[in-house]
Structure 1
Amino acid sequence: MNSKMKVVKTTSENPDFIALITALDKSLWESYPELKSNYWGNNIIELNPNVVVIYLDEKPVACGCFKKYDKNTMEIKRMFVSPEARGLGLAKKILQELELWAQELGFSFSVLETLYNQKEAISLYQKVGYAIVDNYEPYVGQENSICMKKEIGRMNN
């Protein structure tokens, strides 16, 4: 790959992040039109200071963020790699960046939710150490959701 990659830590107000998650939502609703009403409320991004955007040759192509879930746990949200940049290891790179950042902030665990048909995503998460767990709130009872968890650091107690 001869592209120049740049990883940027930013916030949810970043226009490139907003453009990427708009594309993510569009692809999700095309793939899962029946779920739009059930999941829409879970995908609203309040102001989030923990966002990563990856650029290839100055073009934003991938993103992800995390938010606090509880005292020791952060939740990965809004993972997306644009179609033209898939297969380059960018999703794994985003996860690594987010997990490292969360460790620096004192989190010991990472959780995430994905949809049952996101086979590539589920496979990637399992390869990097996530295990499927019982659905956590707000996904309890949502049979289309797959929830996963990983230990990312040691607690400082």
Structure 2
Amino acid sequence: MYTIVRTTSENEHFRALVNELDKDLAIRDGDDHAFYAQFNKIDNLQHVVVLYEGAEAIGCGAIKAYDTGTAEVKRMFVTSTHRNKGYASAILKELENMARQLGYTKCILETGVKQPEAISLYRKNAYAIMHNYGQYEGVIDSICFCKTL
């Protein structure tokens, strides 16, 4: 049984999970990690979710405004021992619900080609590959997705 809590980036469990995420990404991204890290700051994120299994925080995600109608999904993560149980999809669905409630009509996100689990997750949840946006335009190791809500 799990629960999802809406919070902000001040949440200590969210910060701890993002720390784990960043360690994993540093390994996957190698020399490119600093480039991606600059776009993943968590200061002042107002729309964050943390997923708990019992009292243990095991997953997280966030959204932030990209433009007036579009929310960008950020910092999606589930601990390695809790993957393949549907938690990431539950987090993503909660973020989509939050985005709808905030008046957004679309979600976009970026992930890396070295993150096949993430690519599979987004495809499974009806996200379509789009042209790389913003700072990811022309970055060959980035894959961007979108979904109309």
TM range (shorter): over 0.9
- Equivalent residue of 2:136, what SS? coil
Task: Say if 2:28 and 2:114, in contact at 8 Å, map to a contact too.
Answer: no
In structure 1, the residue matched to 2:63 is 66
In structure 2, the residue matched to 1:97 is 94
Aligned length: 149
Aligned AA (2:80): P
Q: Which 4+ runs in 1 deviate beyond 4 A?
A: none
Percentage of matched positions with identical amino acids: 44
Q: What are the residue-to-residue correspondences of 1:33-52 with 2, within 5 Å?
A: 33-52=30-49
In structure 1, the residue matched to 2:27 is 30
Q: CA deviation at 1:46?
A: 2.4
In structure 2, the residue matched to 1:131 is 128
Aligned AA (2:51): I
Task: Say if 2:3 and 2:51, in contact at 8 Å, map to a contact too.
Answer: yes
Q: Does 1:141 align with 2:138?
A: yes
Q: CA deviation at 1:37?
A: 2.2
Aligned AA (2:126): G
Aligned AA (1:124): L
Aligned AA (1:32): D
Q: Does 1:112 align with 2:109?
A: yes
Runs of 5+ consecutive residues of structure 1 not aligned to the other structure: 153-157
Max Rg structure: 1
Task: Say if 1:110 and 1:150, in contact at 8 Å, map to a contact too.
Answer: yes
CA distance in 1, matches of 2:98, 2:17: 21
Tell me the TM-score normalized by structure 2.
Answer: 0.97
In structure 1, the residue matched to 2:77 is 80
Tell me the TM-score normalized by structure 1.
Answer: 0.92
Deviation per residue, 1:33-67 (Å, 9 max, x gap): 11122112111112011000001120000000000
CA distance in 2, matches of 1:20, 1:102: 22
Task: Say if 2:29 and 2:114, in contact at 8 Å, map to a contact too.
Answer: no
Aligned AA (2:113): Y
Query: How big is the alpha-carbon RMSD for the aligned residues of Structure 1 and Structure 2?
Result: 0.8
Aligned AA (2:47): N
CA distance in 2, matches of 1:6, 1:150: 24
